[in-house]
Amino acid sequence: MCVSALENIPYISVQNAHEAEPQQRCHPRLPDHAGMMTVASFWNGESYVSPSIRIYCTVESRLKKLLWSKREDTILLLHALVIKIGGLAWRDIVTMSYMMQPFGMQSMLKDGHKHFSGLEEAVMKNIDACKQLSKITRTSLGPNGMNKMVINHLEKLFVTTDAGTMVNELEVQHPAAKLLVLAARAQQEEVGDGVNLVISFAGELLQGAEELIRMGLHPSEIIAGYAKALTEGLEVLETLVEPNTEKIDVMNKDEVMKRIIPVVASKQYGQEEPLCRLITDACIQVCPKNPLNFNVDNVRVTKLLGGGVSDSLVVSGMVLKADAVGSIKKAQKAKIAVFGAGVDTAATETKGTVLIKNAAQLESYATTEEAKIESLIKEVAESGATVIVSGGPVGEMALHFCERYKIMVLKIMSKFELRRFCRSTGASSVVKLQRPSVDELGFADSISVEEIGGTRVTVIKNDAGGNLISTLVLRGSTDSVLDDFERAVDDGVNAFKAACRDSRLIPGAGASEIEMARRLQEFGSKETGLNQYAILKFAESLEIVARILAENAGLNTLDILSTLYSAHASGNLHAGVDIEGTNPTKDDVWDLYITKFWALKLATDAVCTVLRVDQIIMAKQAGGPKPQGGHGDDED
């Protein structure tokens, strides 16, 4: 469209600088291009002034309807070219262009989305994110692993070497790194140990994959090689199982401790033996006749400040961090009535008014209420109950009559704790205060209030057997130390459960990984085709366990690896890393086969999933704070 065509439209005026009227609004200086070219961009109803010759352009809504569609974001680009200034006449060549319509992925998705594709943008960035997560946890692997200080979204402090706690409390945002977090959580749920191995091994596999991609291999070829290496590696792992470990007597303390000491030592090195003795006693107490039905929730932990691990103990029953209500602090051969709604008079949900006209009515009102409560407590006492456990408030008048009838009163406000108490004693929770039946009463050998380290606790014991709950009373100097003890106990209990499912043992301290790496290198060298490179990288990645154990212990990594390879080549399959540096071929450390099996499988599956992603499409995030996901708190 030429200048004359524009001048015929009364809605645009192009004037020289000395002819223009002063404008109320000026646009900031626009960049001047070569050859005195000025570019002016303007919206509907706005005027822009070019500092070169002051071209005033006003676009009315009617012009927009004539020239363009009704898009509100249309932009007019006015290019003034070939300008001659002076007394001579000047000539403008004006062109108009439309804003480009969105195309491709932008035309399909809403504004604000993010889109990444290709090797560099998607695959390499995914690999880098997973490697960063692996770097966080790998330094915490092994007995000499370093602590991490994690502060979660609730500003709660965690000082721990437990990788499971780290991945649960870290708010990982990258979608590829979240895949590793999901694999780690699956390992935690399946076995309860080996979370750090999953993340560290996956990070090393992705590091090898990145090198192969830069060499020119396609991700699909790497995935095929990794899958083939995993199949061969698991077959090698099967051959490393120690003979005569297929069956375990779960009541044999030595056999149990042999399987849980390496797990606890990785969290509490130097204090693993006293902790493992406590864990073994607690697990054996609550182990059912069929070990496959063992429930980790039946082993509870109560943390009390003061003392140390040597002061910790195991209670065959429950320990409540609360004092008894009232003056009765002890009961022997107790029959227990549990009331979930509290021990008090019934009250209406709405307020009411009682009109009392004389003193007799006032006295009758008070005595009637007392008589009602007394009759209820008397019925409970006549049922044989000597202990009342309330899941709600305990009224003063009800407590008075409980004292009169020699009934001990406990208050448990947590519904989860109340549920465990009922399971431990065999009681059934009654909804309201009434006479319980014989089947609803529970039993305990003794219930007493004791003072441990300056803290008053209520101990419920069932020494005669048939107890379903066992409690470890842990002692420590600070809350952080106690929390770390508790995490070590959880790992030990999970290891006991895993041993009940599959008790097979394999050499630990990196020995199994070195032997697998050695055999996979032989297997890969015989392969033809591009799979060979991925198999060799898989074998090289298996060295990560021995390498990290040596690094965290301050040992020379190359010397340790060469010594281990030499020992395994000579037939010593039990040669592993000795973190004390005295005997590199120490063979008294064992790992559970099931832990290694699931760790290698889950890590490889997660890596293959990451490598299969070549495009990331993220929708625009919604406004407002993001809700925090729970970690099984409802079942605690």
* pLDDT tens digits along 130-165: 888 888 888 888 788 888 888 888 888 888 888 888
Task: Evaluate if residue 475 carries a pLDDT over 60.
Answer: yes
Task: Pick the more confident residue, 101 or 256.
Answer: 256
Cα 249 from Cα 252, distance rounded (Å): 5
pLDDT band at 37 (very low <50, low <70, confident <90, very high): very low
Check residue 635 and report its DSSP letter: G
Catalogue all structural domains in the chain, each as residue range(s) with its CATH number: 3-80 (no CATH), 116-243+507-621 (1.10.560.10), 253-313+478-503 (3.30.260.10), 317-346+361-466 (3.50.7.10)
Kindly give the residue spans of alpha helices, DSSP state H, lying in 240-271.
253-265
DSSP state of 74: -
Distance CA 245, CA 256 (A): 11
Place 620 in a pLDDT band, splitting at 50, 70 and 90: low
Per-residue pLDDT reduced to its tens digit, 158-194: 888 888 888 888 888 888 888 889 999 888 888 878 8
pLDDT reading at 525 higher than 60: yes
Q: Contact 169/158 with Cβ under 8 angstroms? A: yes
DSSP 120: I
Question: Hey, what are 619's tokens?
Answer: 């929708």
Position 98 scores a pLDDT of 41
* pLDDT at residue 359 in the model: 81
What mean pLDDT is predicted for residues 251-259? 84
The answer to whether 180 touches 135, Cβ cutoff 8 Å, is: no
Q: Residue 473 pLDDT > 60, yes or no?
A: yes
Report the 3 state secondary structure along 539-565. Answer: HHHCCHHHHHHHHHCCCCHHHHHHHHH
Tell me: pLDDT of 400 over 50: yes
Count of residues for the chain? 636
The angle formed by the CA atoms of residues 491, 548 and 276, to the nearest 5 degrees, is: 25
Residue 74 has pLDDT above 50, yes or no: no
Could you give the CA distance from residue 315 to residue 482 in angstroms, rounded to a whole number? 17
pLDDT, position 339: 87
SS3 460: strand
Q: CA separation (Å) from 226 to 175, 233, 536, 604? A: 22, 10, 9, 7
What was the pLDDT predicted at 205? 92
Lowest average pLDDT, out of 40-54, 287-301, 470-484, goes to 40-54
What six digits make up the tokens of 530?
Answer: 């591009």
Cα separation, 232 vs 240, whole angstroms:
13
Residue 75: is its pLDDT beyond 50? no
In 174-231, where do the E strands start and end? Answer: none
pLDDT higher at 405 or 352 = 405
* Among the ranges given (290-299, 350-359, 369-378, 566-575), the one the predictor scored with the smallest mean pLDDT: 350-359
pLDDT tens digits, one per residue of 220-250: 888 889 999 999 999 988 888 888 877 878 7
**pLDDT tier, 80 (very low <50, low <70, confident <90, very high otherwise):** very low
Closest CA to 277 of 472, 505, 508: 472
Does residue 454 surpass a pLDDT of 50?
A: yes
Q: What one-letter code names the amino acid at 85?
A: I
CA 403 to chain CA mean position, Å: 47
Give the CA-trace dihedral at 153, 156, 160, 165, to 10 degrees. -50
The pLDDT of 480-486, averaged and rounded, is: 86
Q: Which residues contact 180 (CB under 8 A, 6 or more apart)?
A: 130, 133, 134, 167, 198, 199, 202, 203, 606, 610
When comparing pLDDT for 512 and 104, which is higher? 512
State residue 262's pLDDT score. 84
Tokens linked to 626: 């993001």
d(CA 482, CA 475): 7
Helix (H, G, I), strand (E, B) or coil at 71: coil
Give pTM, 2 decimals. 0.72
Say if CB 585 and CB 570 are below 8 A apart.
no
Mean pLDDT, the chain, integer: 75
Place 604 in a pLDDT band, splitting at 50, 70 and 90. Answer: very high
pLDDT at residue 565, rounded to an integer:
87
